[in-house]
Structure 1
Amino acid sequence: MNFLHLLSSSATQHLTVHCLNTPVWATGPSLQPSDRAVSFKAWSGDRIQAGDVLEPTVIKDDCWIKDGHWHQTQFVFQTQDPNLLPIVDVDNLPSADPGSRFHLEVGPVCFL
């Protein structure tokens, strides 16, 4: 991994949360993170939260919809500091209430 970090000038990674009746980022259609939004841990050990330098771009966030159907929240991490990727941990995931579920789909890192 250190070799890729040394040879790269930027990096990108996609992460998708598939969710059933549980919000993970916003609590409404605004795409603004809530107080209970997930946070991330970078390869470097840094914590990434809403408002940070490596704040993810939210492509889609339908997880706030509680209608008994599966939805998605899609994050894209883009950075000029390749030492921050890959994402190694996701924190503050919602509790497993009855009738709610989620799973993560973590994409590969593209080092440029």
Structure 2
Amino acid sequence: MTKHKIFTMAFAKVYPLYVQKAERKGRTQEDVDAVIAWLTGYDQTSLQQQLEQQVDFEAFFAQAPRLNPKCTLITGTVCGVRVEEVEDPLMQKIRYLDKLVDELAKGWPLEKILRN
């Protein structure tokens, strides 16, 4: 079975798109970094290293310090697909991140996005 194209795409290619989406709605790069840190455990330094090394999504999530245990509280749809029903674990993590950025762009308070 072949890997999905997004798995081998450099995270650094998609990251600016996440930031642009958030900024169009009045959010900041820091907000995007905060949701990434919450989901993956990367701090600012290690996130920057991942971006500079051009790691793909598969490596980005495989090398993540820790996946937040509250990520299972992320529900809803991204591109018409319910994130809680995605079967492939890596694709589900990618969809979790997509959903968090969507919530930022919708203007949700950071506390609610981070499931506090």
What is the TM-score when the length of structure 2 is the normalising length? 0.28
Decide which structure has the larger Cα Rg and report it: 1
Structure with greater helix share of residues: 2
Return the structure number with greater strand share. Answer: 1
